[in-house]
Amino acid sequence: MLKKKKTTYIIPILLIPLMIFSLGMKKLEMTPKTVYHVYLEGKSIGLIKSKKALEEYIDKEQEHLKEKYQVKKVYAPDNLDIKKEVTYSNNISSTKEIYEKIKDISSFTIDGYEINIKKTNTGSSDVKKADKKDKKIYVIDKKIFTKSIDKTVKSFIAKEDYNIYKSNKKQKIKDTGKIIEKIYIQNDITIKEGKIPTDKEIYTDENSLSKYLLFGKTDSEATYTIQDGDTISDIAYNNKMSNEEFLIINPEFKNENALLYSGQVVNIGILNPQVNIVEEDEVVSIEEKKYQTETRYDNSKYAGYEQVTQAGVNGSNKVTQKIQKVNGETTNIVTMSTEEVTPAINEIIVKGGKENSFGGGVTGGAPVATAGSWGWPASCNSISSPFGYRWGVLHDGTDIAGCGYNSPIFAAQAGTVVKVSYKYDNGKYIIINHNNGYYSLYAHLATQTVSEGATVARGQVIGGMGRTGFATGVHLHYSIWQGYPYYGGRVLNAMSMY
């Protein structure tokens, strides 16, 4: 009996230390602690004791980024959020554990500049403009961007002209010549200083950024080795470039007539400008005034008789124009004044009007179209954009501008009007079948004064110059085709007919 009583008293005594220890642990768990809750991309990745310790650890572990970009400090990702809070939890992560989670998911940041280039709404169907997307560029130093923009501008504007413009010297045109009135970037650009992500392209020098602004990429251009007989025009066209583009990426050549030698290596590449550099000029020039052909009939001569009794002589006008260029391409011409310098002398052709004994004139079908048989389709001669490639896209016509809104457009040769219509890119347009395998197309018209099926003579007014469809200014898009335009036809350089 005595033994049982002793056992009964010993058990409670042994439980007392365990209860005290348990109560101590609960008290310890119930003690609040100040910690930092780490969120990455809005999701919790753990608790840490010190925000500063994590930031210092990131900077220490990313030494290679500091060397690569020549910066003094590396920071946490932009999408990392660290919030101070009080918790009773003992589930605290080490600084290293949180760092390892971060580097596997997101990129770290450094001091720099974020540059946003807004898209523009200008453009035409004829030429590819800068991509219609907003651009975001990162640079270490703001000066890199300003220098690269300056370098890009010089790619499109002659060095001498640019230097005169920047000097702010007042220039006057004495007789003929050009004055740059304004140079500006058409895009809205914002520059923001802050933390920039290291997983994006970060430009550290103006040369690589200038290349991106010109080509839309930083890869090296392709090269071509000159062969005997090559010309700049041939090389450019065969590589879907304009002469101007060739000269931009090969600045050692002054113009498209520069001499080439066999074995010489040149750069080839298609421009894709990321900004629109606008140049506005006042230009005074002597413009050729083409003579008109006057046909007279002599009823004493049989049909089929034709003789030039007075040779045509072109005259000249002194023309003052406002010209706008975007990335080196003329987009608009406005003629301010025209002063005759030398009058044009009309060509006079006498044709027989008397029927022959066979009851008609000479038969045998329509004559083949040849150079010299085509009339000029507009009342002015300024070409804003010639036939050829522009930024990898074939401009399949010749743009004539400067005549003024709704100025007359003429049929280039006699024929039958086969199309009077509207298209989203050509705007109001007319197609004439010249009944000899050739067709001519007139686009961006303001008015159309002929109807389908009508027979027109060379020089007859068929419409007015406009800017309908995709057009950056008032102009005529004029093209000549062998076969029906676009549907099996082959486009020609219209200027080869003059």
Max alpha carbon distance in the chain (Å)?
165
**Is position 308 within any domain?**
no
Would you state the pLDDT for residue 9? 46
Evaluate if residue 359 carries a pLDDT over 80.
Answer: no
State the total domains in the chain.
Answer: 3
- Is 60 exceeded by the pLDDT of residue 10? no
Looking up tokens 């954009």 gives: 385
Is the pLDDT score of 360 beyond 50? no
Q: Are strands 408-410 and 461-465 parallel, antiparallel or unpaired?
A: antiparallel
DSSP string for 168-231: T-----SSSEEEEEEEEE-S-EEEEEEEEETTS-EE-SHHHHHHHHHHSS-SPPEEEE--TT--
- Give the span between the Cα atoms of 434 and 371, in whole angstroms: 14
**88 shares a domain with 123:** no
Residue 294: which pLDDT band, with cuts at 50, 70 and 90?
A: confident
Which pLDDT score, from 0 to 100, does residue 2 have?
Answer: 42
- Single out the residue in 238, 268, 298 at which a domain terminates: 268
Whether residue 421 is found in the same domain as residue 477: yes
* Domain edge (last residue) among 211, 245, 268: 268
Q: Is residue 452 a part of any domain in this protein?
A: yes
pLDDT at residue number 121: 63
CA 232 to chain centre: 22
Q: How many CB atoms lie within 10 A of CB 484?
A: 14
For 92-118, the pLDDT digits (tens) are 999 999 999 999 899 999 999 999 999
Model confidence at 178: pLDDT above 60: yes
Rg (CA), the chain: 38
Residues whose CB is less than 8 angstroms from the CB of residue 352 and which lie 6 or more positions away in sequence, other chains included:
297, 298, 299, 301, 302, 303, 304, 305, 306, 361
| Whether residue 485 sits in one domain with residue 419 | yes
Instruction: Measure Cα distances from 393 to 42, 125, 485 in Å.
Output: 45, 10, 17
* pLDDT for res 118: 93
Whether residue 166 lies inside any domain: the answer is yes
Which CATH number belongs to the domain containing residue 461 in this structure?
2.70.70.10
- Which residues constitute the domain of residue 126? 117-268
Burial class of 317 by CB neighbour count within 10 A (0 to 12, 13 to 18, 19+): buried
Residues 6+ apart with CB under 8 A from 414: 434, 455, 456, 457, 458
Which percentage of the chain shows pLDDT scores above 70?
Answer: 88
**Residue 7 belongs to some domain of the structure:** no
**185 and 242 inside one domain:** yes
The DSSP code for 468 is -
Asked, for residue 64, whether it belongs to a domain, the answer is: yes
pLDDT at position 158 is 85
CA distance 67 to 334: 54
Is there a domain that residue 163 lies in? Answer: yes
Distance CA 253, CA 255 (A): 6
* C-alpha pair distances (Å), 289 with each of 292, 376, 377, 405: 9, 10, 13, 19
On whether the CB atoms of residues 151 and 171 are closer than 8 A, the answer is: no
Report the residue count for the chain.
Answer: 498
pLDDT value of residue 365: 39
The answer to whether residues 169 and 99 belong to one domain is no
Token look-up 């049929």 returns: 411
Element (H, E) at 277: strand 277-289
Is the predicted pLDDT of residue 356 greater than 80, yes or no? no
- Asked if the structure places residue 217 within a domain, the reply is yes
User: Does residue 239 share a domain with residue 216?
Assistant: yes
Domain boundary among 236, 268, 300: 268
Residue 89 has pLDDT above 80, yes or no: yes
Rounded-to-integer distance, Cα 461 and Cα 102, Å: 72
CA neighbours closer than 13 Å in the CB half-sphere of residue 55: 11
Considering the domain architecture, whether residues 170 and 248 belong to the same structural domain is answered as yes
d(CA 13, CA 7): 10
Residues 259 and 158 in one domain: yes
Q: How confident is the model at residue 30 (pLDDT cuts 50, 70, 90)?
A: low
Residue 296 half-sphere exposure toward CB, CA atoms < 13 A:
11
Q: pLDDT-based confidence at 122, cuts 50/70/90?
A: low
Confidence of residue 372 (pLDDT cuts 50, 70, 90): low
Q: 434 with 492, same domain?
A: yes
**Same domain for 139 and 221:** yes
Q: Is residue 328 part of a domain?
A: no
82 and 122 share one domain: no
pLDDT value for 59: 95
Same domain, 259 and 145: yes
Q: List, for residues 377-435, the tens digit of each pLDDT value.
A: 999 989 999 999 888 889 999 999 999 999 999 999 999 999 999 999 999 999 999 99
